[in-house]
Amino acid sequence: MAAGERPVALLREELAVEVLLDAVWRPAALLGWRHDDDGRCQVRVRLGWDGRPRVLWTPLPILRLPEPAAAAAPPAAAEPPAASESPRRALPPPVPPPLRPLVHRAARSPVRRAERVPSERPLPAADDVRLLHLQIELLKLQAWVREEGRRVVVVLEGARDAGQGGTAAALVEHLDPRTVTVVPAGAPDRAAHLPAAGHVVVFDRSWFGPVVRDPAGRDAPLRDLTTLERLLTRGGVLLVKLWFSAAGADADPVAEAALLGATSTTTAPWTVLAADDERRARLEALRHVLSVLDYRGRRDDVVGRPDPLLVAPVPVAAEP
């Protein structure tokens, strides 16, 4: 391996993409990528050029997924905007469904699993391809964070064994490990793991610590936490908080609802994710993270809207 190169991430199957050469977007096949020592992402592509196939390394910014008209149909929740509209303006915030079916399980009549994750909406065969599309967007997000010196914190909390670990792994699978960190459950001293400029940190059930599982006397720790979140966001940290809610979880639903209500604020709101179907929840979690971070080069037709049947914002509490 040449100096300055990193190990290559190879794809199991080639992915159809386009590469900008001579001011023209040309069809190509994505083979993999690497993160060089300077932190830049280089992608490996195969394309036909000058009448013969070539395999070469290119910078990430000159690669894109095919336009929707030439690509496979996107998921129903990710329809491309009308041609006359701005891509960003074409994605208004999703209309939140009632919070009660997702969190207040003890205060309602039982809800069948089919009502939370309809069985008539199976995951498509192209599930892995959709995940890869979102992971390519994550590469663009990481490049933007590094180049702009941003600080990003992604919090994955909620019910035990609700899929946070798998989602954390999918978030960071292809990112440069030198500037992305996963903080596992049980890690002490949350403040010691906060990101430096240009870094991303994912807290995998390690944001609250024992507060979630020990309701007694938690008011002071929660006030300290919301104060920390307010200081972080005012200091420029981009904070994304996802709460994984699953039927039959060991958490007390009333305490869970109270916890979310006390810590969902204007500057650091919670978003609840119905995580009964772990694979679908993983896709929606990545989609949510990408949709709320306004990074350079985001393809809104690829990211799409999070499914409102699975993703709902928590009402925010008043801040001092």
Q: Are residues 57 and 181 in the same domain?
A: no
Q: Is residue 70 part of a domain?
A: no
Shared domain check, 111 and 48: no
- Tell me, what's the pLDDT at 109? 30
Instruction: Indicate whether 109 and 58 sit together in one domain.
Output: no
Burial (Cβ within 10 Å: 0-12, 13-18, ≥19) of residue 160: middle
* pLDDT value, residue 208: 85
Whether 154 and 227 share a structural domain? yes
Same domain, 266 and 302: yes
Check if the beta carbon of residue 62 is closer than 8 Å to that of residue 20.
Answer: yes
Residue 185 lies in a domain: yes
242 plus 145 within the same structural domain: yes
Confidence at residue 319, expressed as pLDDT on a 0 to 100 scale? 67
Residue-wise pLDDT tens digits, 76-135: 444 544 444 444 433 334 434 333 333 433 333 333 333 344 434 444 445 778 899 999
CATH number at residue 151: 3.40.50.300
Closest CA to 145 of 180, 190, 191: 180
Does residue 165 sit in the same domain as residue 53?
no
> Residue 9 contacts by C-beta under 8 Å, 6 or more apart in sequence?
32, 33, 34, 174
pLDDT tens digits, 263-276: 999 999 999 999 98
Whether 112 and 181 share a structural domain: yes
Distance (Å, whole) CA 320 – CA 206? 26
The angle formed by the CA atoms of residues 136, 141 and 143, to the nearest 5 degrees, is 95
Residue 74 lies in a domain: no
Rounded distance, CA 290 to CA 308, Å?
A: 16
Dist CA 247 CA 112 (whole Å): 9
| Nearest of 275, 198, 209, 193 to residue 242 by alpha carbon | 275
Q: Specify the number of domains making up the chain.
A: 2
Question: Which residue range is the domain that position 46 belongs to?
Answer: 9-64
Whether 47 and 93 share a structural domain: no
Averaged pLDDT, groups of 10, the chain, 320 residues long: 60 87 88 86 85 86 76 46 43 39 34 37 61 94 96 93 93 93 88 94 88 53 88 96 83 81 92 92 96 94 93 81
